[in-house]
């Protein structure tokens, strides 16, 4: 992997924000297909926005407890899509919703914020979801992500065989520290940001996007 850390910008709703993220150097762009989210886009809108992406920039479709038929119908309209399951999906449900291997997927792990909670079993979670392309680590907040909260990175155990994606409360100011904390623990590390580069929910700040990507590139 070297020193490069891939970047995903998530929760995009506007064409100009997609273009800004691509221009800044993001390697993946996330679209939220979860209606209660303030960053929600319809399947048609996700397809329209994803059509703006150039080669080698991956569209990621985020679902929360969505019926497999709906997942597959949405994915069919977004060529090259990577799926992200961010709810309570079991390994079997992820496998079915991915078309039994037709689409690669990420599985989100919701890390408790309560300091008295039992340590999160990252190794066990990774083994349960061994068909996932990577495990995305997010803070356990109401509403399934996008809450701008970080979890205590120091409490995660090593998972040397796992591909991880660090998410949850990342900003241009703290992403370097998050990379330094997690990169030694895993096989590969990527980072995912949403609220940390926003002017308001669902509206991205282009300067903060550039600052975030530059902060990652400097690690």
Catalytic residue status for 10: yes
Secondary structure of the chain: what % helix, strand, coil (to 5)? 30, 25, 45
Angle between helices 15-24 and 206-217 (to 10 degrees): 20
Catalytic residue status for 94: no
- Interatomic CA distance for residues 206 and 51, integer angstroms: 20
Residues written for the chain: 219
Q: State the catalytic residue, choosing from 10, 17, 186, 192.
A: 10
Please choose, from the candidates 3, 36, 20, 6, the residue with its C-alpha nearest in 3D space to the C-alpha of residue 199. Answer: 20
Q: State the catalytic residue, choosing from 17, 94, 138, 192.
A: 138
Tokens 């990774």 map to which residue? Answer: 126
Angle between helices 206-217 and 175-182 (to 10 degrees): 30
Which letter does DSSP use for residue 132 in this model?
A: S
Would you please indicate which residues are annotated as catalytic (active-site) residues?
A: 10, 138
């Amino acid at each position: 992997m070297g020193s490069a850390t891939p970047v995903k910008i998530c929760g995009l709703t506007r064409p100009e924000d997609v273009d800004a993220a691509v221009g800044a150097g993001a390697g993946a762009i996330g679209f939220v297909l979860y209606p209660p989210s303030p960053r929600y886009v319809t399947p048609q809108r996700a397809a329209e926005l994803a059509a703006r992406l150039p080669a080698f920039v991956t569209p990621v479709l985020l679902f929360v407890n969505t019926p497999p038929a709906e997942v597959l119908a949405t994915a069919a309209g977004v060529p090259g899509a990577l799926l992200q399951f961010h709810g309570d999906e079991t390994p079997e449900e992820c496998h079915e919703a991915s078309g039994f291997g037709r689409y690669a997927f990420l599985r989100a792990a919701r890390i408790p914020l309560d300091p008295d909670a039992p340590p999160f079993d990252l190794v066990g979670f990774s083994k349960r979801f061994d068909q996932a392309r990577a495990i995305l680590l997010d803070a356990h907040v109401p509403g399934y992500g996008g809450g701008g909260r970080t979890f205590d990175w120091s409490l995660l155990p090593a998972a040397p065989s796992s591909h991880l994606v660090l998410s949850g409360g990342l900003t241009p100011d703290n992403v370097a520290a998050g990379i330094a904390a997690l990169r030694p623990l895993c096989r590969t590390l990527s980072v995912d940001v949403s609220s940390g580069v926003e002017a308001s929910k669902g509206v991205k700040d282009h300067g903060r996007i550039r600052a975030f990507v530059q902060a990652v590139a400097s690690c």
